Structure 1
């Protein structure tokens, strides 16, 4: 690199003038194209861990007087950036810049026949015989943790100005829009636009919703997420606002805790779309339902449930494993995704990355490990369902959780009872399971976003209790 940067870009400018704005170099043998590709390739920083470097010589397409697209600098992807700097940039994992993601061209694939060897049917198959359970369950965060994307499912604004996500670079921005019954994220970079469909909604919306999109049979994460606290569109966790990497693949480790089932056809992110059963539904706790449904449809007079698991009939540790599929913190898979069945030993299927970790992050919170530290747990045979009914929505229901505590405790057991005001006396969880800040979502602090979750280590913490009492006294003065 003996030449100066200024000299190099003067040469590039000359090439641009010679070939014209928006020209496409037709052959890699052309010396000017090769030089531009070589110069630009030097500026591409190390890719994310999900992408490896490619030795293929890149195609180069000029999109505007300042914006250039290169293909195969990162394998199978286009990298868009300005001539004179590496950031901001966009990474598009598409075969063609003109087509973008091909999700809309796959309607036929979505309706193709699927052999369904695993036997999953989805929650609606349970409704015929368990209507009351079903009506309550579909309102829970479990069921709503993923769904097919539609405009009505999206909590964030899809009209101006609240649909905008600006960045620190005025030439790079996102806006969210309705498109028919669905919605898209439009990324604009120096006037060049690409529309990313929000094909799948993940997250119940308590904290946030983030979005996945299909390109053929590949599943990727979209760049913008909606956060309910500030009621704003923000950069999705882990993304850099000036590095719009639309090639973040969705692996089975992610989907195990957001969908009931999906068939992977090829790693890391190729799936059979028609096999997807969105949300965490009945079958993740009771087992695949096809044999159960077929048996009782053929034998309607038999009332004893067959070919299905009642978790309450399992030994305590196996009951805990059912919840531990998603509430034991981050994990690697020992066996293929979705192969665990209620009653199995979870340690044969998941390898916990931090078994004793006491973090309270959304994706790393080991709630089960924290619960095991509690005297309530050690001195009883309690399981998760002693405090949580998975069939109904309980979020924010202080009365429900207070009554769960009073199954084993008397009000008089609380040593602070005489000091508590009426509005605090019933909030057992607020004192004994103090909320802790979530800080594991990269970029949240930079966006001024703070979140918290209840710590499942149930304990007596006098300092925290004093804080709760002081806050209560302040609010009543």
Structure 2
């Protein structure tokens, strides 16, 4: 009887906690050091994101480096300038499915196998990425956007199958028209700015929204409204007071976590990302296993670097992503082992006795990264 009373009391507390319906908190721009504000679930209005041209006015050099980068080209509206693939009436066949790429006027189309197993014509509405591959997005009913299974290899200039080794039946989750290649849930959070997926379970529909179509300045630095208002008010007397993210003052491990938001295999656990709290408040990193990593923890599959990097001596010594990559162009700062020589003495480490390869050989390049 005593045990039953204890269980009843616990259940009463649980039901009380979860029966209280909370209102969605209103987003309020915070003055001062926003890094120390308690994390909330507040949604940031789109009009707090002012766009890249607002950043360019004061940060022309950074804007120039960012322009044309992978972040800039993360997602684009279809046009003759954004599409890199060959839509000149060409066909590509893989695993028994033939995809026909063609144009009608200024519009881009593909005829391929649809969700019911029959061939249909689909209009391409967005491009996705730029190198080494570009994918193409089709609009489906109920707000679903789907990425084609066939993508364009921008280095070899040819179409290729994302899953060349096995057949996917049209009714399976991995079919391009279904969950595995659904843009709303699988892709949008990292390729656009201020994304809200807005999935409705009852109708199995999306009303996905974003402030800016690509990975803009504000996708990394946060909404610029407060920053620009302060800068305009103070003029030359303006001093940075923590109204942006990922600044020169961001601690190394915090900076890596902020990059890792998109550069890791993970699941999103929050309804949307709002720059509050920690990375783990919003995302659950995939555990390291032998399906996606080598036994020593190095990258085997498409791991987006983070899982391997946090195991390295570099990470634990305070090295960050931008020690090797330019923060805005994303390009490596140096080529080959000159990149490693920023910290490692070449006479000691860039030698066959250390990396066990001939000098200037492929195996000897970037060998220091693995140390």
1:326-365 alignment to 2 at 5 Å? Answer: 326-329=262-265, 331-341=266-276, 344-354=277-287, 358=293, 360=299, 363=302, 365=303
Sort the Cα spacing of 1:301 and 1:375 in 2 relative to 1 into closer, same or farther, 3 A: closer
TM, length-normalised to structure 2: 0.70
- Measured after TM superposition, the shift of residue 369 of structure 1 is 2.7
1:121-270 alignment to 2 at 5 Å? Answer: 121-160=50-89, 163-167=90-94, 169=96, 173-187=98-112, 194-206=120-132, 208-215=133-140, 217-237=143-163, 240=167, 243=170, 246-248=177-179, 249-267=182-200, 270=206
Sort the Cα spacing of 1:407 and 1:235 in 2 relative to 1 into closer, same or farther, 3 A: closer
Question: Are the aligned partners of 2:100 and 2:111 in contact in 1 as well (CA < 8 Å)?
Answer: yes
Higher CA-based Rg: 1
RCO comparison, higher one (Cα < 8 Å, 6+): 2
Looking at secondary structure, tell me which structure has more strand per residue: 1
Sort the Cα spacing of 1:424 and 1:291 in 2 relative to 1 into closer, same or farther, 3 A: same
Sort the Cα spacing of 1:235 and 1:293 in 2 relative to 1 into closer, same or farther, 3 A: same
Question: Helix, strand or coil for the counterpart of 1:211?
Answer: strand
Question: Are the aligned partners of 1:320 and 1:383 in contact in 2 as well (CA < 8 Å)?
Answer: yes
Question: Are the aligned partners of 2:194 and 2:274 in contact in 1 as well (CA < 8 Å)?
Answer: no
Answering whether residue 348 of structure 2 is matched by residue 377 of structure 1, we say: no
Sort the Cα spacing of 1:240 and 1:196 in 2 relative to 1 into closer, same or farther, 3 A: farther
TM, length-normalised to structure 1: 0.56
Deviations 1:198-239 (A, max 9, x none): 211112221x21122223633222343212354322344498
Question: Are the aligned partners of 1:253 and 1:337 in contact in 2 as well (CA < 8 Å)?
Answer: no
Question: Are the aligned partners of 1:259 and 1:278 in contact in 2 as well (CA < 8 Å)?
Answer: yes
Sort the Cα spacing of 1:336 and 1:387 in 2 relative to 1 into closer, same or farther, 3 A: same
- Measured after TM superposition, the shift of residue 133 of structure 1 is 0.8
Gaps of 5+ in 1: 1-114, 434-457, 460-477
- Measured after TM superposition, the shift of residue 309 of structure 1 is 2.6
Sort the Cα spacing of 1:432 and 1:164 in 2 relative to 1 into closer, same or farther, 3 A: farther
- Measured after TM superposition, the shift of residue 426 of structure 1 is 11
Residue in structure 1 matching 2:207, options 271, 276, 285? 271
